[in-house]
A = this chain, B = another copy of it.
């Protein structure tokens, strides 16, 4: 996953973008980057790691101007190298152009081969670079100076998930959402400035006002004369409507954000309610796996009447490089991050609520940890359906063969995880919680709303054998 941000028309554009990106940090910790524009020159800073590591006062001072765009990367397509860190910065016939992308294209490999055959050279292994090449080609063929026209031509060729923020050397900021609207992109105002961000939590931090979401298939262009909207992108698949990623609600977005017009916290709390109704169990205490499991656990507790307790404590001091002892105590990963409160679980029948179970290894460690803290029974409740299929639209799920639910029954998983009972939320329960239709839930169902590319299909087929 990734996060994108943009601001147009603010004295301290890069400072504000820095804060806005900080609020999106949960969407990716691999790299962070900013491009700002002053006097027709785009200046770039990208670095591996967190926003707060990538920038300091000096680096921000080197990014002057009233317009800036930023990107937070959580590697999906393209390998983990600095040269894949966005926003990318290119020069082409139209001048300088910067682009930041959240999502994943499914036909990038095919387009890349086609472009190379025409003499294009590539500098990154990212799918995003394809979009700019297509723009440059469109501009060359049409001879037109219109960046929006070139962008539309380019996007007609690509297929997949994309929420884009672009910045041109003449200070046009452009926001785009693919016709399916897989990934979020929101519009806000901060005094006279326009702001774009993957999530509304950015707006709260910088005290901007949330205006509306960019609509699926919409292109918004902000320049000195204000914001204009273009709707020129055809459906990616005949008959396909909006298919917003339900996993944003389940796990990815921050609970204080609105996505797809709905409160993430409230949606998760409802998943807990539905889960309690669908999969009740006798127990003494309901505890969440913090932090993302908290709202669903609150919902489960309220619906079931079983007391909620913060039975697992999350440490705030887990650094990125932690040294494990060599022989004596292994597998500290989870243990360093989470600790059970013995006085809450000792002798108790514990219901643990988590938001997902992907490989099963973490859940297994949590169950063991609770038992060694004295839990008499451990009942695991997952506030989403089993994850059976990989995502090709920008969520960094493991390949199908690593998804435990793709090849094991719930009983088998429960045995592996060593819990007393295990239950998942049903697909219906999930849909009822997020309020309806217009979602992509391919990771739970295998119904991919936009046809996959050839390499994706190979991966899928291999896993199914």
Q: Beyond A11-B328, A328-B12, is A121–B92 a contact (Cβ under 8 Å)?
A: yes
Which residues in B have their C-beta under 8 angstroms from that of A15? Answer: 323-326, 328
Give CA–CA (A57, B326) in the complex, Å: 11
Q: Size class of A's contact patch? A: 35 or more
- For chain A, residues 205 to 230, give those with C-beta under 8 angstroms from any C-beta of chain B: 205-207
Q: Beyond A265-B344, A298-B309, A343-B265, is A136–B120 a contact (Cβ under 8 Å)?
A: yes
Contact, CB under 8 Å: B91 / A122: yes
Q: Among B44, B120, B141, which residue has its beta carbon within 8 angstroms of that of A120? A: B120
Which residues in B have their C-beta under 8 angstroms from that of A324? Answer: 15
Contact, CB under 8 Å: B123 / A90: yes
Which residues in B have their C-beta under 8 angstroms from that of A265? Answer: 309-310, 341, 343-344
Give CA–CA (A352, B170) in the complex, Å: 48
Give CA–CA (A56, B83) in the complex, Å: 20
Give CA–CA (A328, B120) in the complex, Å: 41
Q: Among B137, B323, B340, which residue has its beta carbon within 8 angstroms of that of A60? A: B323
Q: Among B57, B90, B307, which residue has its beta carbon within 8 angstroms of that of A122? A: B90
Contact, CB under 8 Å: A121 / B140: no
Q: How many copies does the complex hold?
A: 4
Q: Among B116, B136, B204, B315, which residue has its beta carbon within 8 angstroms of that of A373? A: B204
Contact, CB under 8 Å: A323 / B56: yes
Is A266 an interface residue, CB under 8 A from the partner? yes
Contact, CB under 8 Å: B120 / A123: no
What is the minimal beta-carbon distance from A193 to any residue of chain B, in angstroms? 10
- For chain A, residues 25 to 40, give those with C-beta under 8 angstroms from any C-beta of chain B: 25-26, 29
Q: Among B16, B19, B51, B317, which residue has its beta carbon within 8 angstroms of that of A51? A: B317
Is A336 an interface residue, CB under 8 A from the partner? yes
Q: Among B89, B118, B139, B204, which residue has its beta carbon within 8 angstroms of that of A140? A: B118
Contact, CB under 8 Å: B119 / A141: yes
Which residues in B have their C-beta under 8 angstroms from that of A53? Answer: 319
Contact, CB under 8 Å: B92 / A116: yes
Contact, CB under 8 Å: A119 / B90: no
Contact, CB under 8 Å: B308 / A308: yes
Give CA–CA (A340, B336) in the complex, Å: 27
Contact, CB under 8 Å: B52 / A319: yes
A interface: dominant SS? mixed
Q: Beyond A93-B116, A310-B255, is A343–B263 a contact (Cβ under 8 Å)?
A: yes
What is the minimal beta-carbon distance from A9 to any residue of chain B, in angstroms? 12
Is A254 an interface residue, CB under 8 A from the partner? yes
Interface centre among A26, A121, A316 (most CB of B within 10 A): A121
Contact, CB under 8 Å: A254 / B91: no
Contact, CB under 8 Å: A12 / B327: yes
Residue on B nearest A123 in the bound complex, by CB: B123
Q: Interface digits, A293-320 against B, CB 8 Å rule (1 contact, 0 not)? A: 0110010001000011110011111110
- For chain A, residues 314 to 352, give those with C-beta under 8 angstroms from any C-beta of chain B: 314-319, 321-329, 332, 335-336, 339-344
Contact, CB under 8 Å: A313 / B254: yes
- For chain A, residues 42 to 74, give those with C-beta under 8 angstroms from any C-beta of chain B: 44, 50-53, 55-57, 60
In the complex, 6 of the A-B residue pairs with CB atoms within 8 angstroms, ordered by the A residue number, are: A52-B318, A60-B323, A92-B120, A93-B116, A120-B121, A255-B341
Q: With contacts A91-B125, A207-B329, A266-B343 known, what are 19 further pairs, Cβ within 8 A?
A: A11-B327, A12-B326, A12-B328, A16-B328, A19-B332, A23-B339, A44-B81, A50-B319, A52-B317, A52-B321, A57-B323, A89-B123, A93-B116, A119-B140, A201-B339, A205-B339, A263-B341, A263-B343, A298-B310
